[in-house]
Every structure is written in C-alpha cells, then in structure tokens.
C-alpha cells in the first residue's frame, strides 16, 4: 500500500490517499487540541498510543457486529482504513452527566443517566459544533432517515459493547462521540475511538483518564491514556 498525497490535516490526525482509491491512511499525530483548536500541545507518544488504542477498540466493535472503517495498523502512528464519505455529524451518547450537557441544561454533574441520552452535533469548528436534531439533518440533507436510524442504533450498540468492556477493566464510560460515513452502500463507523473523544473515569475514585486531563490542565495526559490501554490489555 503506497502512501500518496495528504488529503486532510485535522487537529490530531492527518489523512493520506493511497494507491487504492478505496483506502486511506490515518496518521495519529502527537498534537493535542482543545476548545476548537485554541489550546494545542505536542504530547510525546500520544500518536502511537491512540493508534494502537483505536485499532484495539475498532477490532472489538467489528467482532461484536459494528461495521467499521478500520483495516489494520501499518506503523506506530498509522492505520489503513476504508475511504468513507463522511457525514458532517457527530453522535454523542452520555451515560453520566458532565461537560457541555451540564453547561447547556444546568443539570448537576455526575448524575447516572438511565436511559443514556443521545445527541447530534454538526461538525463545524467555526460554529463550535452546534447541537442539531433529526429534522435539521433531514431538511439540510446531511443524512437520510434510514441513516439517522442506523446512527442511533449503532451508537447505542457501541455503548452496550464498550460500557461492559471498560467496566470489566475498572472504568466508567461516561460519554463519547462517534462519526459515521458511507461506503459501498453501507454506513460504517469512521474517525476514531480514543480517549481524545470519550470520557473515562476510574470506577472507584472517578479520576479522569481522558482528554479532560488536557482540557482542564490536570497533567499526566498520555500517562492516563497509557493506563487505560494497559488496563484493557492493549499492547503498546
């Protein structure tokens, strides 16, 4: 598989074309950003840890029946993926109240949400990823009714699989963001699943083990990611 032109340089990943038009290379960089790119730092080893962590989770999801874009790791910081036509939508499930939910609704932090909530956001940095609903998605043709239903079903299926996986390793999956894309007539999970895009708390102490350590200046960011990987048995 030959790496070709850089197609997209995101805040933490760079996407490259390959000699196969159906495949892309994702490069997980050490760059760590928050607040729509206002705070950016280089954190040693983060690219490698996230690449391996993401592959581990994508393989677990695939094995449990969630179709994903992941093909294989090809270097420390790179993975080969299917070339999806990404929907401009973020799907967020929350099992415990925190983050933007508490700011937006004025609800208490740390409440168990039963049932978990589901939210759609529009991927648009300039607008700070505004929250949208099914009707916006249909009116602006960002996805079809069937794709909306699939995004909800798959995002909750991921919740069932990963809540258990993390709980068995002593962690609470507080919330997470997923992105989907079209590939040969199907909807597949794309982007990444890493501690950059989810919240994970220690089950006993509720210590934060995710990107909130960076957002809130708590330090020990990569060390926390490595601890999560270690607890799950991800080989680094």
> Where do contacts with ligand 5GP occur on this chain (CB under 6 A)?
90, 92, 99-101, 129, 175-177, 196-199, 211
Comparison of 73 and 131: residue with beta carbon closer to ligand 5GP: 131
3-class DSSP string for the chain: CCEEEEEEECCCEEEEEECCCCEEEEEECCEEEECCCCEEEECCCHHHHHHHHHHHHHHHHHHCCCCECEEEEEECCEEEEECCEECCEEEEEEEECCCHHHHHHCCCCCCEEEEEEEEEEECCHHHCCCEECHHHHHHCCCCCHHHHHHHHHHHHHHHHHHHHHHHHCCEEEEEEEECEEEECCEEEECCCCCCCCEEEEECCCCCECCCHHHHCCCCCHHHHHHHHHHHHCCCC
The nearest distance, CB 131 to ligand 5GP, in angstroms, is 8
Comparison of 46 and 199: residue with beta carbon closer to ligand 5GP: 199
Comparison of 59 and 129: residue with beta carbon closer to ligand 5GP: 129
Comparison of 3 and 100: residue with beta carbon closer to ligand 5GP: 100
The nearest distance, CB 90 to ligand 5GP, in angstroms, is 6
Residue 134 token pair? 């099914």
The nearest distance, CB 223 to ligand 5GP, in angstroms, is 18
The nearest distance, CB 232 to ligand 5GP, in angstroms, is 17
Comparison of 100 and 144: residue with beta carbon closer to ligand 5GP: 100
Q: Which residue is nearest to ligand 5GP (CB)?
A: 99
The nearest distance, CB 199 to ligand 5GP, in angstroms, is 4
């Amino acid at each position: 598989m030959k790496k070709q032109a850089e197609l997209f340089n995101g805040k933490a990943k760079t996407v490259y074309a390959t000699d196969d038009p159906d495949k892309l290379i994702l490069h997980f960089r050490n760059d760590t950003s928050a607040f729509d790119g206002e705070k950016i730092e280089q954190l040693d080893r983060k690219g490698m840890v996230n690449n391996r962590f993401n592959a581990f989770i994508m393989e677990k999801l695939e094995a449990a029946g969630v179709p994903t874009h992941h093909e294989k790791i090809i270097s420390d910081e790179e993975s080969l993926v299917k070339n999806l036509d990404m929907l401009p939508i973020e799907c967020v499930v929350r099992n415990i109240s925190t983050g933007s939910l508490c700011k937006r609704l004025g609800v208490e932090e740390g409440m168990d949400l039963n049932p978990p909530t589901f939210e759609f956001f529009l991927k648009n940095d300039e607008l700070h990823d505004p929250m949208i609903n099914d009707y916006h998605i249909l009116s602006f043709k960002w996805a079809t009714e069937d794709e909306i239903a699939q995004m909800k079903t798959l995002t909750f299926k991921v919740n069932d699989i990963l809540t258990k996986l993390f709980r068995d390793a002593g962690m609470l999956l507080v919330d997470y963001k997923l992105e989907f894309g079209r590939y040969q007539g199907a909807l597949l999970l794309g982007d990444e699943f890493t501690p950059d895009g989810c919240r994970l708390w220690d089950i006993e102490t509720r210590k934060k083990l995710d990107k909130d350590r960076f957002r809130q200046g708590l330090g020990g960011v990569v060390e926390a990611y490595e601890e999560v990987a270690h607890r799950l048995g991800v080989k680094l």
